[in-house]
Amino acid sequence: MKKARYLVPGDYMADPAVHVFNDRLYIYPSHDWESGIPENDNGDHFNMKDYHVFSLDEIDGEVTDHGVVLEVKDIPWAGRQLWDCDVACKNGKYYMYFPLKDKTDIFRIGVAVSDRPEGPFVPMPDPIRGSYSIDPAIVEENGEYYMYFGGLWGGQLQRYRNNKALECAILPEGEEPALCGKIVKLSENMLEFAEEPHDVLILDKNGKPLTADDTKRRFFEASWMHQYKGKYYYSYSTGDTHLLCYATGDNPYGPFTYQGVILTPVVGWTTHHAIVEFKGKWYLFHHDCVPSNGKTWLRSLKVVELEYLPDGSIKTIAGRED
């Protein structure tokens, strides 16, 4: 396996969403800035105020920075913190979905639109009605578009049950069922939810839902979906145990059966990724904190080739290369 490559050595980018548009690879990351805020479990030190778009026509080729394509100051309902985003294309329009804290410090998911994959993107005046939490990831299936989302702790998913806000956040414990990521179908105009969000259920090999104390397998954040040989691969981060894992199913809604680890812990706290096929090979895009000497809020983009075994399982990649 080739060594992972740093893609933007001159800046701190993280949480990549990656897609192939018009035979070119486009990367939509979050942008880390030094905030001066002490690190905490709510992620207040992540001072992300804009998005760049990057592209390349060969995996080892030159990376083009298309510059700033959306900023917090341009979003009417904005409070702070543009965390990770994703982009989908429909009928020649490009839709960027982004989590952002509103003026009451609650994460909502907004939409911005462009005529080009490299932006710039123009935000809608309000967030998506009924949206909450973080980490939107979009998948298209037979002309329909679905969003996966959700993240614990700073991602605020524990503040909701059945898509309704709680008076107080509740995290399951012990053998209680783990909190699930969410999936929701998007409307025809790509600007709204077409239904109530559903749980993305992850099962063990015996068909039982993963429990809250199963911290090396249960969902924490960073949903991503891709297909390989007719199977749906739902991948995600376990958060505080620092693994990227995956589960497989037969449709976008699941349920999904846990299969294994894609990436072992990297240098730094967070692990967030994208998986994409490009010119006949598969790649894992992710980040670590090596260039910033391990500061978890200053992360750097990486890419490494992904390998499948004959049975369809994914060969585990070592997060630390030392």
| 115 included as an active-site residue | no
Q: What's the pLDDT score for residue 321?
A: 75
Write down the mean pLDDT value for the chain. 96
Q: If you average pLDDT over residues 45-58, what whole number do you get?
A: 93
Q: Report the CATH number at residue 213.
A: 2.115.10.20
312, part of any domain: no
Whether the predicted model's global pTM rises above the 0.85 cut = yes
Owner of token pair 């969902």: 219
Give the active site residue among 84, 135, 221, 288: 221
Q: What's the pLDDT score for residue 1?
A: 54
322, part of any domain: no
Q: State pLDDT tens for residues 265-300.
A: 999 988 999 999 999 999 999 999 999 998 888 999
Count how many Cα atoms sit within 13 Å of the Cα of residue 121 in the half-sphere of its side chain.
33
Q: Which amino acid, 307?
A: E
Owner of token pair 């390349």: 56
First-last CA distance in the chain: 15
276, part of any domain: yes
* Total residue length of the chain: 322
Strands 13-21 and 24-31: antiparallel
Predicted confidence (pLDDT) at residue 26 exceeds the cutoff of 90: yes
Q: What DSSP designation does 190 have?
A: S
Report yes or no: 301 and 307 within 8 Å, Cβ to Cβ. no
Q: If you average pLDDT over residues 83-88, what whole number do you get?
A: 97
315, part of any domain: no
Q: State pLDDT tens for residues 221-265.
A: 999 999 999 999 999 999 999 999 999 999 999 999 999 999 999
204 pLDDT band, cuts 50/70/90, is very high
| 221 included as an active-site residue | yes
205, part of any domain: yes
311, part of any domain: no
Whole-angstrom CA distances from 230 to 146, 184, 226, 233 are: 18, 21, 10, 10
319, part of any domain: no
202, part of any domain: yes
Phi-psi region of 168 (alpha: psi -120 to 50; beta: other; left: phi over 0): beta
Give the active site residue among 15, 84, 86, 199: 15
Its domain, for residue 79, covers 5-306
Phi-psi region of 22 (alpha: psi -120 to 50; beta: other; left: phi over 0): left
Q: If you average pLDDT over residues 171-181, what whole number do you get?
A: 98
- Rounded to an integer, what distance in angstroms lies between the CA atom of residue 16 and that of residue 28? 6
Q: Based on the structure, what is the number of domains in the chain?
A: 1
- CA torsion sign for 40, 199, 15, 265 is positive
